Amino acid sequence: MTTLTEVLLRTLEDLGAEDLKKFKWHLWQKGVLEGFPGIRKSRLENADREDTVDLMVQTYCINTIKVTKMVLVKINQNDLLDNFTDTISEPT
């Protein structure tokens, strides 16, 4: 069985450098992710993909899937969103 962290890492690996930068930008902006806190910019600036996954799971816990979907929509990565959604589902 594939874990959330593996699926999230694979999703981030499918983003190019510019799209990863946009993804991380959305994570540190206050108020962009309705109802969810931002991750400190200083923690994300030099974070590689693996570190970004760890920070997201630490910050958002069971909401990591929801936050990932929100950001993928905001950066217009609908193909990755579909693949992510098909691979893993939100906890009920």
Neighbours of 90 (CB within 10 A): 11
Total number of domains in the chain: 1
Task: State residue 22's pLDDT score.
Answer: 96
Whole-model pTM: value is 0.89
Report the phi/psi class of residue 28: left, alpha or beta, with left for phi > 0 and alpha for psi in -120 to 50: alpha
Percent of the chain past pLDDT 70, that is, above it, reads: 95
User: pLDDT (tens digit, 9 = 90+) per residue, 20-60?
Assistant: 999 999 999 988 888 899 999 999 999 999 999 999 999 99
Task: State residue 14's pLDDT score.
Answer: 96
Query: Quick check: is 92 in a domain?
Result: no
Structural domain for 58, as ranges: 4-87
Query: Quick check: is 79 in a domain?
Result: yes
